[in-house]
């Protein structure tokens, strides 16, 4: 499995047993024990850190050469949001499609609720 398949599987599990490499995940409303392997973090590419998204969001606009130098040398970096600096993340050994669909359903529901709240519902 390559990173393109796992890149959006952020926090696919509810609980994790690192020693036995099993995670508890909800698939279609049912809690299941899923085996996993460790894989390189797709967010930081295994570096453990990345540029702060608030800096990179609209493109970096340096005020001078010192800012560009600081950017290049990682002074605007932060600990990775996904792996918390561990450089690896648990990758489910099976049920990837089902987990992905379940997460997408939950995110879509959350987006719908947020839109309703914004409209005063």
pLDDT digits over 70-114, tens only? Answer: 776 777 788 998 899 999 999 887 777 777 777 788 888 888 888
Give the pLDDT of residue 62: 65
pTM of the full predicted structure? 0.59
Q: How many domains does the chain have?
A: 1
Do 50 and 43 contact (CB within 8 A), yes or no? yes
Give the pLDDT of residue 58: 63
Q: Domain containing 11: what range?
A: 3-113
Residue 108 lies in a domain: yes
Residue 51, CA distances (Å) to 11, 42, 81, 106, 113 in order? 20, 14, 10, 28, 30
Residue 121 lies in a domain: no
Residue 119 lies in a domain: no
pLDDT digits over 12-54, tens only? Answer: 888 999 999 999 988 878 888 989 989 899 888 899 998 877 7
């Amino acid at each position: 499995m390559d990173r393109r398949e796992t890149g959006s599987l952020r926090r696919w599990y509810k609980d994790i047993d690192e020693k036995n490499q099993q995670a508890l995940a909800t698939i279609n409303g049912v809690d299941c024990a899923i085996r996993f392997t460790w894989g390189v973090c797709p967010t930081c590419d295994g570096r453990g850190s990345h540029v702060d998204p608030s800096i990179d969001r609209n493109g970096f606009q340096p005020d001078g050469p010192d800012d560009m130098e600081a950017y290049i040398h990682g002074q605007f970096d932060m600990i990775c949001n996904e792996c918390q600096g561990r450089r690896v993340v648990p990758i489910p050994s099976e049920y990837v499609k089902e987990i992905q669909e379940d997460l997408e359903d939950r995110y879509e529901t959350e987006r719908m609720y947020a839109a309703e709240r914004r409209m005063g519902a």
